[in-house]
Structure 1
Amino acid sequence: MTARGCAGPSARVVRAAVGGLVHESSTFMVEYLGTAELSAFSCHQGPDLLTEFGGTATVTGGYLAACAAVGAQVRPAFHARAEPGPAISGDAHLALEQRLSGALCEAGDCEVVLLDLHGAGVIAPDRSLDVAVLRRVRQLLPDAVIAVTMDLHANVPDELLDLADVVTGFHEYPHTDAADRARLAGELAVAAARGTIRPVIRQRRLPMLLPPSPTVAGSPARELRDLVREIEERPGVLACAAFHGFPYADTEQAATSVVTVTDGDPGLAQRCCDEAAAWLDGQRERFRPTLLAPVEAVRLALASEEPTVVVGDGSDNPGCGATGDNTHLLRALLEAPVATCFATLWDPETVATAVAAGVGNTLDVRLGGRHGWASGPPVEAVGTVRAVTDGVITQTAMRRGKRADFGPSVRITVGRCEVIVASQRRQVLDPEILLLHGVVPRRYRIVAVKSVNHFRAGFAQVSGHMVVADAPGPTARGIEQIPRSGPTRALWPMAAPHVVSGGQQS
């Protein structure tokens, strides 16, 4: 679908540079993982960018589709992304920004720049990565129309909106609409370059941060999604997004916000932001999650009438920056009197030991628990190596069509549990990493995965019953329970009286 006001392929050709620098940064995780360095990033430049992202359900894939739809000439620049983790180092930021700058210079004079930015990137200790990137791009191409597509969990400072001409954000959580939202941003940017629309952006920031809140049926996040969708369909409105904010970045930028883009009408844009913000302010208590300890989550799964139940490891989601080696849920699974499976535990040392032992051999294992409080104690047990793989999969739900690399990985049987251990820290979005190791999820009573909400899309065909387990940790869903000393202490729910459970069901 072509965005309203956008001319089709017959209009004059516009040159569009496509790139991005994507990182969701937790300031809490620096203590446990250090800073994110250049080696953490997967980088693609020029023709390689087209090969990597063409036809994928990603932001960059959406940009490429937009250019094809409206007849814009793609100038592939540079794209870098790392798994969410600790704030990135200053050296890594400079190296990545230099590569992006060089690629943009090679792309030549472009009327449009299409950027994939997360919106919650942090340069250690507390600078906005996204603002830094936009400043540099604006310096290089002062007259270009710059479009940005950001994650639903973006923290959006005012300066970001001063630097960009078009801003869109995901509506869905799990983020299954990334490509669609980027396509909208791309089409709007090209239309602006052609002079058929005049984008105006306004924002309303709220003194709050939402805990991880999926847009599942019956949830307040679904109602919020529906509201901004309805706003976006109004005459004169080009785009509207509610950004939940990223509660694991303790910075000045962190906050929930609403951003609206209109066609030359700043008053309309502000009224739309204020309307959605007022709804959020009135409904915020409904966003408190009901927390389930791992033992309780397993007990609930065992009581289910569904033959298979999927349990998300909500406190140790690498997609929030967590270590991925927390053992609390694994311990609960090992006590279950049924066949279970677990993916993935980040433990390069155990992978190396298992590979050396070889398939079919039994060995003493020390699983996970390598980062103190963030990880829990290691699990010491006897396990049998069942499979060894390269850990490379192609994702089938969120980021459909995009490769993901878990690094060398192994399947180890511990009691009744099949444990997939990986040498790269990755969130599990779909069953592919299990299938790669010969584990068919439907054959197990409980399937546990390192993910807080994104697994819901990828495992929808596996089970109709999904729950989230909560253990202590620096990326727990009970965000008001996380020790913090910075600016986010003053935001809801940290500054509000603690309520153990609320209206949102797991």
Structure 2
Amino acid sequence: MSGRGPAPRAAVGGLVHESSTFMVDHLGTAGLAAFSCHHGPDLLAEFTGTATVTGGYLDACASAGARVHPAAHARAEPGPAVGADTYRELEERLLSRLREAGDCDVVLLDLHGAGVVVPDRSMDVAVLRAVRALLPRAVLAVTMDLHANVPAELLDLADVVTGFHEYPHTDAADRSRLAGELAFAAARGAVTPVLGQRRLPMLLPPSPTVAGSPAAELRDLVREIERRPGVLACTLFHGFPYADTEQAAASVVTVTDGDPALAQKCADEVADRLMTARERFRTVPLPPERAIRQALAGGPGTVVIGDGSDNPGCGGTGDSTYLLRALLDVPEPTCFATLWDPETVAAAVAAGVGATLPVRLGGRHSWASGPPVEAEATVRAITDGLIVQTAMRRGKRADFGTCARITVGTCDVIVASQRRQVLDPEILLLHGCVPERYRIAAVKSVSHFRAGFAAVTDRMLVADAPGPTARTIEHIPRPGPTRLLWPMSERPAPH
């Protein structure tokens, strides 16, 4: 393609899942019902104008004047590894739509990078193998989450690989737009993408790119590298520490314009800096009770506390009660969102707004959840749980399922029938809970809430309790290969 030739043809799709192998024992495997699926015109309606990976791809297509074939996109909330039958069905849906597209110049795929098909197969590599076999001549671009686990084979299958720089992931659309632009440039012969990688014998605990953090310093380094002549993209992938597979590891991926030596040099530079700084990434746990005391000791105003050990965005059960139990002892108004408890939601709906009923909140998944909270609660509101996100994934809908706001003592608890991470205040506002009116607002999230609640307060903490998605990743029992990586092992095996 060159000059004023025909408009490039681009297929857009994705299969997105962040899979925790530790959660299979607690939640089973991720089935088809867990995935939100869109294809054809529905895909365009769902993602156009949103701050998502697919939204960024569609922006890149518009800028390139491309003829877009919206293929198929499926995404589930992070959770246990994906069942084999579910994966096969989702793969066939994507391939079927790509077959309809015919020969494409460019294929733009939204992948997480930490997808696992039970027991330990990389879902992302499987997708790329299938797409590459179907469309061998297309320029294949992939955008992945900052927490991707990136095996070397993935780079053999894709032509362009980018990932998020920010955590919270507020730059998803920017990074996919870059991937799309590079793919179109490669398709018309303007650049020749070459990939370089360095995998490290380590996994990082959840490490937000907040000011003064080592994660922010590494982010700034990869941004600086991207401004160097000949460098097209550079990403530090933290890895996903809740997948105990051979693929799991931190890595650096660099894309250069026809210069493999430069790609490797840049990847090595970032990797060496990370290895030197690794001890600064260790998590100092803050138990729920101490987090509450610290929040109350800081003067008036709202404090937002993330339930860091039970984040559905890491695959957590979403019904751990440790932080909720500590919150119930606070004599001032507090709120908690959301607790995944379909049984309590059903009981609240049956009782109706204004009713008082006995509840047994959460604690339904053994040690992953803690003991249930038994109390008397008053039903304050019932909603459909549908919101539009305003910070991360801005403009994209989210469905918490039927929800109930109940009051236990001085705490308003939003109970949901779908397991979802809280990214911003919208699910609270839907239930009449204005965050600024509470002394403490606790949310099921470990880092992403920081972007969504930044307009509410700058006082944010993360509480740590026991659980298979705890931030202290070195304390999680793991029988598989990641036990040999730092910080699980002080002498990590070579990678």
TM tier, smaller: over 0.9
State yes or no: 1:453 paired with 2:444: no
Counterpart for residue 146 of structure 1:
140
State yes or no: 1:84 paired with 2:59: no
Counterpart for residue 425 of structure 1:
419
State yes or no: 1:107 paired with 2:101: yes
The answer on whether the counterparts of 2:356 and 2:376 sit within 8 Å (CA) in structure 1 is yes
The answer on whether the counterparts of 2:110 and 2:142 sit within 8 Å (CA) in structure 1 is yes
Structure 1 residue matching 2:22: 3-state secondary structure: coil
Structure-1 separation of matches of 2:470 and 2:184: 41
Structure-1 separation of matches of 2:345 and 2:490: 44
Q: Residue type of the partner of 2:277?
A: Q
Structure-1 separation of matches of 2:64 and 2:182: 10
Structure-2 separation of matches of 1:328 and 1:335: 12
State yes or no: 1:291 paired with 2:269: no
Q: Residue type of the partner of 1:37?
A: G
CA deviation string 1:90-132 (max 9, x = no partner) = 0000000000000001112101000000000000000000000
Counterpart for residue 57 of structure 2:
63
State yes or no: 1:354 paired with 2:354: no
Number of equivalences: 492
Counterpart for residue 376 of structure 1:
370
Q: Quote the offset at 1:7 in angstroms.
A: 9.1
The answer on whether the counterparts of 2:353 and 2:381 sit within 8 Å (CA) in structure 1 is yes
Counterpart for residue 3 of structure 1:
none
Q: How has the CA–CA distance of structure 1 residues 305 and 375 changed in structure 2, closer, same or farther, with 3 Å as cutoff?
A: same
CA deviation string 1:275-306 (max 9, x = no partner) = 00000000000001221000000111101135
State yes or no: 1:22 paired with 2:16: yes
Which of 402, 405, 410 is the equivalent residue of 2:404?
Answer: 410
Structure-1 separation of matches of 2:195 and 2:449: 33
Structure-2 separation of matches of 1:447 and 1:96: 37
State yes or no: 1:260 paired with 2:261: no
Q: Residue type of the partner of 1:312?
A: G
Q: Quote the offset at 1:496 in angstroms.
A: 2.0
Give the stretch that moved more between structures: 11-20 or 163-172.
11-20
State yes or no: 1:484 paired with 2:478: yes
Structure-1 separation of matches of 2:64 and 2:10: 11
State yes or no: 1:130 paired with 2:124: yes
Counterpart for residue 193 of structure 2:
199
Structure-2 separation of matches of 1:136 and 1:415: 54
Q: Residue type of the partner of 2:335?
A: C
Q: Residue type of the partner of 2:202?
A: M
CA deviation string 1:344-391 (max 9, x = no partner) = 000000000000000000000000000000000000000000000000
State yes or no: 1:319 paired with 2:316: no
The answer on whether the counterparts of 1:7 and 1:191 sit within 8 Å (CA) in structure 2 is no
Structure 2 residue matching 1:377: 3-state secondary structure: coil
Which of 36, 39, 42 is the equivalent residue of 1:45?
Answer: 39
The answer on whether the counterparts of 1:12 and 1:194 sit within 8 Å (CA) in structure 2 is no
Q: Residue type of the partner of 1:191?
A: A
State yes or no: 1:344 paired with 2:338: yes
Structure-2 separation of matches of 1:274 and 1:312: 34
Structure-2 separation of matches of 1:142 and 1:306: 61
Counterpart for residue 184 of structure 1:
178
Q: Quote the offset at 1:12 in angstroms.
A: 4.5
Structure 1: state its 5+ residue gaps: 1-5, 498-506
Q: Quote the offset at 1:70 in angstroms.
A: 1.7
Structure-2 separation of matches of 1:268 and 1:26: 34
Counterpart for residue 504 of structure 1:
none
The answer on whether the counterparts of 1:7 and 1:70 sit within 8 Å (CA) in structure 2 is no
State yes or no: 1:309 paired with 2:308: no
Structure-2 separation of matches of 1:152 and 1:98: 27
The answer on whether the counterparts of 1:54 and 1:64 sit within 8 Å (CA) in structure 2 is yes
Which of 247, 267, 270 is the equivalent residue of 2:241?
Answer: 247
Q: Residue type of the partner of 1:46?
A: G
The answer on whether the counterparts of 1:306 and 1:463 sit within 8 Å (CA) in structure 2 is no
Which of 371, 382, 387 is the equivalent residue of 1:388?
Answer: 382
Counterpart for residue 163 of structure 1:
157
Structure 1 residue matching 2:247: 3-state secondary structure: coil
Structure 2 residue matching 1:281: 3-state secondary structure: helix
Q: Quote the offset at 1:69 in angstroms.
A: 1.1
Q: Quote the offset at 1:193 in angstroms.
A: 0.5
State yes or no: 1:472 paired with 2:438: no
Q: Residue type of the partner of 1:84?
A: P
Structure-1 separation of matches of 2:137 and 2:62: 23
Q: How has the CA–CA distance of structure 1 residues 7 and 412 changed in structure 2, closer, same or farther, with 3 Å as cutoff?
A: farther
Structure-2 separation of matches of 1:163 and 1:432: 39
Which of 237, 243, 248 is the equivalent residue of 2:231?
Answer: 237
The answer on whether the counterparts of 2:2 and 2:189 sit within 8 Å (CA) in structure 1 is no
Structure 2 residue matching 1:29: 3-state secondary structure: helix
Counterpart for residue 357 of structure 2:
363
Counterpart for residue 275 of structure 1:
269
Structure-1 separation of matches of 2:5 and 2:36: 35
Q: Quote the offset at 1:338 in angstroms.
A: 1.0
Structure 1 residue matching 2:74: 3-state secondary structure: strand
Q: Quote the offset at 1:63 in angstroms.
A: 0.1
Give the stretch that moved more between structures: 125-134 or 301-310.
301-310
State yes or no: 1:400 paired with 2:394: yes
Q: How has the CA–CA distance of structure 1 residues 275 and 306 changed in structure 2, closer, same or farther, with 3 Å as cutoff?
A: farther
Counterpart for residue 32 of structure 1:
26
Runs of 4+ residues deviating >3 angstroms: none
The answer on whether the counterparts of 1:152 and 1:171 sit within 8 Å (CA) in structure 2 is yes
Q: Residue type of the partner of 1:176?
A: T
Structure-2 separation of matches of 1:170 and 1:253: 19
Structure-2 separation of matches of 1:459 and 1:415: 25
The answer on whether the counterparts of 1:36 and 1:89 sit within 8 Å (CA) in structure 2 is yes
Structure-2 separation of matches of 1:362 and 1:304: 34
Structure-2 separation of matches of 1:324 and 1:496: 31
Q: Quote the offset at 1:72 in angstroms.
A: 1.6
Counterpart for residue 502 of structure 1:
none
CA deviation string 1:431-485 (max 9, x = no partner) = 0000000000000000000000000000001111100000010000000000000
Structure-1 separation of matches of 2:429 and 2:73: 29
Structure 2 residue matching 1:467: 3-state secondary structure: strand
Which of 201, 217, 223 is the equivalent residue of 1:223?
Answer: 217
Structure-1 separation of matches of 2:218 and 2:5: 36
